[in-house]
Amino acid sequence: MFCSSPECKGDDKVTQPTGDVTAVQGLTLTLQCTFETSDTNAYLYWYKQEVNDYPRYMLQKNKFVSKTVKAPEFTDDRFDAKINQTSFPLKIQKLHVSDSAVYYCALTVSSIPRRTYL
């Protein structure tokens, strides 16, 4: 977990399973992310990091708003994430070889200053 504010108390966090995931081209893959927060205006994010590159923003969703905001290169229907009570799984449909990467789930909370948890 990364916290960018000195006021961080450890009450907010995201967790992802460790290890590699193997999937078949053309099928659907769901990547798991669970979170804990007491913030009523939390935002959850997914990032994709390809080899020798930095993590790139894919999409975000507010904990209490149904709309998903996506980066332009992820606007097709292959990528989707829905917030459940304590999880934010990323669903990738019709897998391509180019989907091979490391995926990160992140959480920001609305307290000022903005805190980010990876």
Q: Which residue has the higher pLDDT, 113 or 61?
A: 61
Which overall architecture, per CATH, does domain 13-18+26-117 show? Answer: Sandwich (2.60)
Close Cβ partners of 42 (under 8 Å, ≥ 6 residues apart): 12, 35, 62, 63, 107, 108, 109, 110
Does 36 have pLDDT greater than 90? yes
pLDDT given for residue 61 in this prediction: 94
- Chain segment 76-102, per-residue pLDDT in tens: 899 999 998 899 999 999 999 999 999
| pTM of the predicted structure, to 2 decimals | 0.83
Q: What distances in angstroms separate CA 72 from CA 36, 40, 108, 109, one per listed residue?
A: 28, 27, 21, 24
Q: How far apart are the first and last CA of the chain?
A: 5
pLDDT given for residue 10 in this prediction: 59
- Do 14 and 108 meet the contact criterion of CB atoms below 8 Å apart? no
Instruction: Grade residue 67 by pLDDT with cuts at 50, 70 and 90.
Output: confident
Close Cβ partners of 73 (under 8 Å, ≥ 6 residues apart): none
Q: How far is CA 4 from the centre of its chain?
A: 17
Does 14 have pLDDT greater than 60? yes
